[in-house]
Structure 1
Amino acid sequence: MGRWVEVGDRAWVRRHAELDLSLGLVAGDRACLVVDTGADETQGAAFAKAVRELTGLPWSVVVTHAHFDHAFGTAAFGHRPVFGHPGCRAALAGTGEAQRATWAEHYRREGRPEAAERIAAARIVPPGRTVTGTAELDLGGRLVRLVHPGPGHTDHDLVVHVPDSGLVFAGDLVEEGAPPSFGDAFPQAWPSALDLVLALGARTVVPGHGEPVDAAFVTRQRAELAEVAALCRAVATGALPPAEALARSPYPEDFTTEALARPTTTTTT
């Protein structure tokens, strides 16, 4: 179901083969923080059990963004505080059922009815504690910062900064092993969001998908996203035909097509 990778003092990432997903855990002296919860309650319950193999401390949860693979397992963690951006709460309310239907059908087409049923049965739990800019959580002996860096992968991404370990859980603002996903993204703002992530000075960054990376990796991905942002601007202004933008992009055609279809404004909630 998953494997633990230690990424700092009392900080771990749980790696999953399914969707190359990374879920996180940070522990202090009195409490721990779970970073994202998985794609359904079965995965969430397995993750919760794995957390209990490392610590018996009371937990709270942060949801980095509202996509099903990061948020649909939250009910498995019971009635504990759940943190997220207000836009995450709104997106789960507004798109949760559509995500459920889309991904259940995806797994049925793949011949995986059990996975489809798990998503169909998942209870969607919106964040009850919202963070619009920055918030600090005291886990006992260590502070963890939740930071909204502006629109990027979505309009409501939160990153989890663990200053005493030089660590950031970046959600899907950073992806390792595959190109970033632009389905709900703001491509022209995404590089600025990564500027803020880099400004946190982390030595280790945990992507939402893929293995942990260093700041140099994030810098390279930021440069690629800046190329995509420039192509989006050029197409939007008529300076470049879409076919030429697709040819110039650092990412495959289907990813770039998604980016070109996204809004050119950076208005967020």
Structure 2
Amino acid sequence: MPDFEEVAPRVWVAHYDWMHVNIVLVGGSDGLVMVDTHGSAEQARVVADDVRRLGAGPLTALVNTHEHWDHHFGNATMVEEFGAMPIHATEWARDHVEVSSGHTFEMYEQATDHPRREEVLATTVLPPTHVFSSAVQLDLGDRAVELVHPGRGHTAGDLVVRVPDADVVLGGDLVEESDPPFIGDDSFPLEWPTTLDLVLGLMTPATVVVPGHGRVVDKDFVQDQRIELGVIAETIRDLAARGVPVDQALVTGEWPWERERLESAVRRGYEQLPRGHRQLPLA
């Protein structure tokens, strides 16, 4: 059973094997803020037990880093277990939770052999209650925590959490360690590198960085991932400018990741290019 590990003063991370999800607690004199809540009600009850075992204070607020199910399907359970509390997210994430969750339920309805099908389908969705568009500061009593929407990348509603006095940044799925970041049908591959530039600007060389999935990393790791995402974005722009059709781009380009991970990235990138950046297909 995972334990919350203190990675900086009063910042604890628990890493769960299912999807390599990280759940983070940030403590202040007024209580704990939990960042992300896992992917089902059943798994969230496990997290709740781990919070109680840590015994670092009352849980007083939740933060969802974006609208994908594996980061907020535990919201309702946390409220049931610890009482009513604000749930913070970007406006975009709040407005798209229901649609995104619907896609997840449809996927699991069809996945009749998936071992976690029933527990996911049994989950009640509880959307965020407190939203912002650019940045907001949470008051934990003797500590301030910053929520920042740095731009579009993994989704249009990503936020990062900065704990300035501990020099910690929680990257959500803008940063992933267990695998390369997932570029899906709701991602913005051409904008993701510049979004990470803003995130990098929130860091010092000593910053502790907690990704949405995987092990704790540092600023150098984020810089390297930004470079890879930048190569993907520039390769898409170059191929389109040379008239390579979208259906030939994957096999034509030289990519930093396996091609099968980049099907959505290429399609989305071509869709998001300004018209002036696309040429007629090569004869």
TM over 0.5: yes
Cα deviation per residue 1:134-186 (whole Å; 9 max; x = unaligned)? 10011111100000001010000011100111101110000102111111210
1:175/1:27 CA distance change after superposition, 3 Å = same
Identity of aligned residues (%): 37
Aligned to 1:205: 209
Match of 1:98 among 98, 103, 108: 103
Aligned to 1:133: 134
What is the deviation of 1:257? 1.2
Gaps of 5+ in 1: none
TM-score (ref. length: structure 2): 0.87
The one-letter code matched in structure 1 to 2:194 is S
Aligned to 1:26: 26
TM-score (ref. length: structure 1): 0.92
The one-letter code matched in structure 2 to 1:134 is A
1:194 and 2:202 correspond: no
1:224/1:135 CA distance change after superposition, 3 Å = same
Aligned to 1:214: 218
Query: How many Å separate the matches in 2 of 1:265 and 1:85?
Result: 25
Structure-to-structure mapping, 1:73-222, within 5 angstroms: 73-78=74-79, 79-106=84-111, 108-110=112-114, 112=115, 115-183=116-184, 184-202=186-204, 203-222=207-226
Count of aligned positions: 262
Gaps of 5+ in 2: 275-283
Contact 1:137 1:144 in 2 (8 A): yes
What is the deviation of 1:237? 3.4
Cα deviation per residue 1:113-136 (whole Å; 9 max; x = unaligned)? xx1111101111111100111100
Q: Answer with 1 or 2: which has the greater Rg.
A: 2
What is the deviation of 1:244? 5.3
1:89/1:244 CA distance change after superposition, 3 Å = closer
What is the deviation of 1:109? 3.0
Aligned to 2:277: none
Aligned to 2:278: none
What is the deviation of 1:45? 1.6
What is the deviation of 1:265? 5.5
The one-letter code matched in structure 1 to 2:234 is A
What is the deviation of 1:44? 1.2
Query: How many Å separate the matches in 1 of 2:22 and 2:8?
Result: 15
Query: How many Å separate the matches in 2 of 1:109 and 1:265?
Result: 39
Aligned to 1:230: 234
Aligned to 1:264: 272
The one-letter code matched in structure 2 to 1:88 is A
Contact 1:105 1:116 in 2 (8 A): no
Query: How many Å separate the matches in 2 of 1:95 and 1:4?
Result: 29
The one-letter code matched in structure 2 to 1:14 is A
Query: How many Å separate the matches in 1 of 2:239 and 2:107?
Result: 29
Deviates more, 1:74-83 or 1:87-96: 87-96
1:251 and 2:257 correspond: yes
Cα deviation per residue 1:171-207 (whole Å; 9 max; x = unaligned)? 0000102111111210010011111111011511111
What is the deviation of 1:53? 2.0
Query: How many Å separate the matches in 1 of 2:163 and 2:194?
Result: 21
Query: How many Å separate the matches in 2 of 1:182 and 1:32?
Result: 31
CA RMSD of aligned residues (A): 1.7
